[in-house]
């Protein structure tokens, strides 16, 4: 058995993807043979969060402590170096897949993975998750559905951790566009402590420009959106290849991470662009959290596509 568990291969509209049992994550994504995701091999772990789902919260919870509905809770400190809980509770859990029919002689174009997050002392809420991966003309669409299967209201947020590539490594020579007017500033322990405009700073990528040796581990917000409510980040290589990640209106935040703290072989190999429905430390501050009543469901979506111009 591979460390990432069972593998589900998808194919449609020139795209190919592999999603995995462990964490319900996205291991690889290609279009016409070109990698859009800096993924990992089937015999490897998803180091650095590669392709993982961040549920029921993205990013950090300071000291792993939060208070909800008049009760205090202590999460395991899954980021011991900084003393925080990070990236939720499902990254290493097993997920199951709904049976999906493939085309004649080929893999299916979509699959839905499911996981029940059972209540525990640190997070005493039961959630049913369904994550749909769907390949089509618009690339990969990921739909995340959370249902409160318990008897008490539950605080939830969601995120994901794909690393984009446009085929050039390291990413220094790529041009980056992030349509965001603000960033969240952070203290030495990477917990937000304010907000500022990107105008006039090294964090301003509202117009595409080379990333260079810039170091990013930054939460962007106040996103500029198209008429359909989407905000889109693009990564363009000198070769002309362009990879885009979009988020729907339920994602007010994007974490952009150049990977400088990863193992040497992985640093700046891809650019993590992390959809987030709430900012770091949301379980503490309440900012961006959604409180689901028993039986209530919430659905959000994001996706990745090959935006290389024809002939690129």
**Which pLDDT does position 310 carry in this prediction?**
84
**Mean confidence (pLDDT) of the chain:** 96
> Facing residues of 236 across strands?
175, 242
What is the per-residue pLDDT across 62-112, written as a single tens digit (0 to 9) for each?
999 999 999 999 999 999 999 999 999 999 999 999 976 666 668 999 999
**Which pLDDT does position 40 carry in this prediction?**
97
Mean pLDDT value across residues 143-147: 98
Q: Is the peptide bond before 170 cis (omega within 30 degrees of 0)?
A: yes
Residue 64, Cβ density class (10 Å: 0-12 exposed, 13-18 middle, ≥19 buried)? buried
> Facing residues of 117 across strands?
127
Which domains, from first to last, does the chain contain? 7-306 (2.70.98.10)
Task: Give 71's contacts (C-beta < 8 A, 6+ positions apart).
Answer: none
Nearest to 158 by CA among 229, 245, 68, 88: 88
Mean pLDDT value across residues 247-265: 96
**Which pLDDT does position 104 carry in this prediction?**
67
**Which pLDDT does position 312 carry in this prediction?**
62
| DSSP string covering 159-176 | EEE-EE--S-SSGGGSEE
The two structure tokens encoding residue 266? 């992985």
CB atoms within 10 A of CB 35: 18
**Which pLDDT does position 10 carry in this prediction?**
97
Task: Give 147's contacts (C-beta < 8 A, 6+ positions apart).
Answer: 127, 128, 129, 130, 292, 295, 296, 297
Query: Is the pLDDT assigned to residue 157 strictly greater than 70?
Result: yes
> What's the pLDDT band for 53 if we cut at 50, 70, 90?
very high
What's the distance, CA 229 to chain centroid? 18
Mean pLDDT value across residues 149-163: 98
Query: Is the pLDDT assigned to residue 163 strictly greater than 70?
Result: yes
């Amino acid at each position: 058995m591979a460390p990432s568990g069972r593998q589900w291969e998808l194919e449609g509209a020139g795209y190919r993807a592999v999603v995995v049992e462990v964490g319900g994550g996205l291991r690889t994504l290609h279009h016409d043979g070109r990698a859009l995701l800096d993924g990992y091999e089937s015999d490897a772990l998803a180091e650095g969060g590669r392709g993982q789902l961040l549920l029921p919260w993205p990013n950090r919870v300071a000291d792993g402590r939060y208070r909800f509905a008049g009760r205090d809770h202590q999460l395991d400190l899954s980021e011991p170096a900084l003393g925080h809980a990070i990236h939720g509770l499902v990254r290493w859990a097993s997920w199951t897949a709904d049976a999906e029919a493939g085309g004649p002689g080929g893999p299916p174009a979509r699959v839905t993975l499911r996981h029940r997050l059972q209540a525990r002392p640190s997070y005493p809420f039961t959630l049913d998750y369904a994550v749909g991966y769907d390949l089509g003309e618009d690339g990969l669409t990921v739909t995340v559905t959370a249902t409160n299967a318990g008897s008490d209201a539950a605080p939830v947020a969601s995120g994901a951790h794909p690393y984009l590539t446009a085929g050039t490594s390291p990413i220094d020579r790529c041009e980056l566009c992030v349509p965001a007017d603000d960033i969240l500033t952070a203290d030495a322990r990477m917990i937000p402590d304010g907000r500022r405009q990107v105008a006039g700073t090294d964090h301003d990528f509202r117009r595409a420009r080379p990333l260079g040796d810039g170091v990013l581990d930054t939460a962007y917000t106040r996103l500029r959106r198209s008429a359909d409510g989407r905000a889109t980040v693009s990564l363009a290589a000198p070769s002309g290849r362009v990879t885009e990640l979009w988020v729907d209106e339920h994602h007010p935040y994007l974490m952009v991470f150049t990977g400088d703290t990863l193992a040497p072989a992985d640093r700046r190999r891809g650019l993590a662009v992390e959809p987030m429905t709430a900012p770091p430390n949301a379980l503490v501050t309440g900012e961006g959290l959604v409180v689901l009543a028993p039986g209530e469901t919430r659905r959000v979506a994001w996706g990745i596509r090959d935006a290389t111009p024809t002939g690129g």
